[in-house]
Structure 1
């Protein structure tokens, strides 16, 4: 974004503003042409696998019939003379996993600045759309796909209101082809509640030193600015006719406030990133006094406010399973057990590897597995990686389970998805099989064939 998303996201928005209805007509014509020429994947009968439907019983063995990119039937002993039979005996069939709250597609190599496109300039930039900055040729996409991840949410960062995210498939030539839903959520990074109590002589740069009182005033100012921003967005939304909102580019339309409309109206979720217990308490108070759909991401100390989160129905995208304890009074497994504590209190728990390290998105199932080893139910863990994540995205009727009518984005593996020894061996996206080759497999083959020492 800083340079990349900034130019691309706003550039595209500017295109809509300048061309208005003309662009809308072009998009409609393009959709009509492409839909008329769509060629669906061949009919497939996936036979003999252990079918983990997620929302229903596990069939061992079971069959799945796929037509036109969707699941047509699930059962045992299915017959379809026109379908190509794929023998999956001895394998486990799952719906593709959904990776929420990631930097995937926006970050590549931390030490190479041109490959970093996640941070936007500015404090309040709700008009930014992270999905338009995704690099479809990122080497990290096929790495994540090779471990069963079929969908991902790239998250914008930078200011307090950092922008909107979308949900994308891990297959496709272009961002447009990959996009499943956009915008998906608005991302708010709650101001830090920590105070630096060091004296002026103890800090590296004495010129930037601030007293604890000054830091507290600055923090209060940031919180007031956040509250004022949402009040203005709410006032703008109330001034509009919800049945006929102004078209982008029409007189009176303001891109910043237009971007906020579905979120302040409660139509799409607002994801608040907060870790410290004081931040989370502030988020709870903020959520309780507003009608918006709020979701907590990060959630390092969420276990300490589990009852409040459950009472308000706020889901948690937990990303700290493998974070070291930050207090010397915490046990070594405090973050291993946190998802179980939240689940027991009635909080919907989802999992994330975090927005900072895109290369580790492939490890998503192992975050859930570690929580399972410390009390989180295994069934709930699989649901958190699939159907519960899909429901949070507003796509529970399309993704996340193996049922008739759902998208046939599936993978076959050698065992339980939560077992680190399991290998994903085949994958289908919308009924089309995709390769699992990636940088890791290429390097493995390269060095496996390395000549031995000369004698």
Structure 2
């Protein structure tokens, strides 16, 4: 029996060691100035420069201009000639569980949800796995940054913004503990099984009670932050940044009446930075969102309408409706298979562009707008002098599946690998079948 146990342990160890083969070694710091010449530069703020020159040194962008207007001194620089190609700022994936779960069925690799209800002190960043094979698979599509976000509970915990090429979570940090995530209760809940064609909705009789619980917790936390109490209360301590404006409150909510309750809650608690996450019906209260200066991270646009009387294309055009109303809009990807689907972020923006939004404006939803919402726009989100050289070169339109073919990608000026587990398998089997021809 003991021998069988040892054999079982050995086999399990071997299996998981094969699963956990490390990703590529993170790229070293930039040593030589790099100049990209001839590409079409999509700045990320709506501007486009044809035949552009983009230079960066020591991880920072030093030049963005038309190549026809510049006399280049490339004597000490590495020049990348990119005629016919396109340059973009690195795409940003907000509200993501990248690096928190590797295999759903393996509990030891699942760190997205902690036990409990009000958990602002749970920090997702310390569970972030830089060795994740899923994380490395984002880079070939241009997704170079993400907001690592916990799930579950009423307050899930605290998120952080990371770059996707790092040795460990300390190296990955772009903005640490940027905000807490509050799951607002639903006024109406589904009744019946999900597979029932007659499934409907009923009012949640405990809705008001749940809202009062949130109010009570925030009032207690606000009083704690003002009193400067010496008593140890870790959850309330983690809330201090909410009232000082250092942390954003990301409120996950969809229905229009629930969103109005959130805006009332923001006013009552005098919260500075609030972001709506999901917002399936945010367009119905867009004027109020503008009035309260509340941005929206729109949920996955590759979705079907929620209600029978919704427009068939509502998920596709929702970002455009909000943008036209004056709301600051970004895109997020939570939901089923969300980690692997995060690589489709640019194609969500492409879908929005196909449904009425200007393409460069659609690009902003996953670049500058996302950076503004996450509070990292001083250094990221657009190709501007002084900002981080986090960008990539694509052979074609990066918002289109056919055009999104990266040749180079840089994070803080470091040229990162575009190889992944999938590309290695592709090359392996391409050789196999080529031999059989």
Q: TM-score, normalised by structure 2?
A: 0.85
Of stretches 300-309 and 275-284 in structure 1, the one that deviates more from structure 2 is: 275-284
**C-alpha displacement of 1:266:** 2.5
Q: 188, 195, 215: which is aligned to 1:227?
A: 215
Say if 2:322 is the partner of 1:332: no
Cα 1:424/1:453, change in 2 over 3 Å: closer
424, 427, 433: which one aligns with 1:445 = 427
Residue 289 (1) aligns with residue 283 (2): no
Q: CA deviation at 1:452?
A: 7.2
Over 6 Å off, 4+ runs: 452-455
Selected match of 2:130 from 129, 132, 136: 136
Task: Provide the C-alpha distance between the structure 2 equivalents of 1:115 and 1:197, rounded to a whole number of angstroms.
Answer: 33
- For residues 453 and 263 of structure 1, the distance between their equivalents in structure 2, rounded to whole angstroms, comes to 61
Where does residue 411 of structure 2 map in the other structure?
A: 429
Residues of 2 paired with 1:170 and 1:91: CA distance? 23
* Number of residue pairs the alignment of both structures matches: 397
2:294 is the alignment partner of 1:306: no
Distance 2:335 2:80 in 1: 37
Contact 1:52/1:93 (<8 A) preserved: yes
Match of 2:42 among 43, 52, 64: 52
Query: Which residue number corresponds to residue 253 of structure 2?
Result: 274
Aligned to 1:24: none
Larger deviation, residues 413-422 vs 273-282: 273-282
Distance 1:440 1:40, change over 3 A: closer
In the alignment, the residues of structure 1 paired with residue 58 and residue 146 of structure 2 have an alpha-carbon distance, to the nearest angstrom, of 23
1:92 maps to: 86
Moved more, 80-89 or 94-103: 80-89
Is there any run of 5+ residues in structure 1 with no aligned partner, and where? 1-37, 204-211, 241-245
Residue 349 of structure 1 deviates from its aligned partner by 0.9
Does the aligned pair in 2 maintain the 1:95–1:386 contact within 8 Å?
A: yes
Q: Within 2, Cα distance between the matches of 1:451 and 1:427?
A: 29
Q: Distance in 1 between matches of 2:147 and 2:358?
A: 25
User: Is 1:389 the counterpart of 2:383 in the alignment?
Assistant: no
Taking a change above 3 Å as real, the CA distance of residues 156 and 87 of structure 1, as seen in their structure-2 partners, is same
> Once the two structures are superposed, what CA deviation does each residue of 1:103-156 show, in whole Å capped at 9, x if it has no partner?
111122333332221011100111011111111111111111110011001111
Q: 2:342 aligns with which of 357, 361, 377?
A: 361
Q: CA deviation at 1:453?
A: 9.7
Q: Which residue of 2 aligns with 1:107?
A: 101
SS of corresponding position for 2:221: helix
Contact 2:142/2:409 (<8 A) preserved? yes
| 3-state SS of paired residue (1:442) | helix
For 1:45 and 1:361, locate their aligned partners in 2 and report how far apart those are by CA, in whole Å. 29
Q: Which moved more, 1:327-336 or 1:133-142?
A: 327-336
Aligned-residue Cα RMSD (Å) equals: 2.3
CA contact (8 A) 1:300 1:320 kept: no
Q: CA deviation at 1:265?
A: 2.3
Q: Is 1:189 matched with 2:183? A: yes
Candidates 56, 79, 85, aligned match of 1:66:
56
Deviates more, 1:254-263 or 1:77-86: 77-86
| 2: CA distance, partners of 1:313 / 1:403 | 25
1:418 aligns with 2:395: no
1:192-211 alignment runs, 5 A limit = 192-195=186-189
For residue 132 of structure 1, give the secondary structure of its aligned residue in structure 2: helix
Q: Is the 8 A contact 1:99 1:361 kept in 2?
A: yes
276-285 vs 66-75, which moves further: 276-285
Q: Supply the distance in 2 between the matched residues of 1:147 and 1:412 (Cα, whole angstroms).
A: 10
- In structure 2, distance between residues paired with 1:421 and 1:371: 17
- 8 Å contact 1:108–1:359 — kept in the other structure? no
Aligned with residue 376 of structure 1, among 357, 370, 385:
357
Q: Give the aligned partner of residue 176 of structure 1.
A: 170
Q: Which runs of 5+ in 2 are unaligned?
A: 1-27, 195-201
**Mean CA deviation greater in 410-419 or 281-290:** 281-290
Hey, what does 1:262 align to over in structure 2? 241
Distance in 2 (alpha carbons) for counterparts of 1:53 and 1:453: 44
8 Å CA contact 2:283, 2:318 repeated in 1: yes
CA distance in 2: counterparts of 1:92 and 1:81, whole angstroms: 24
Structure 2 SS opposite 1:172:
coil
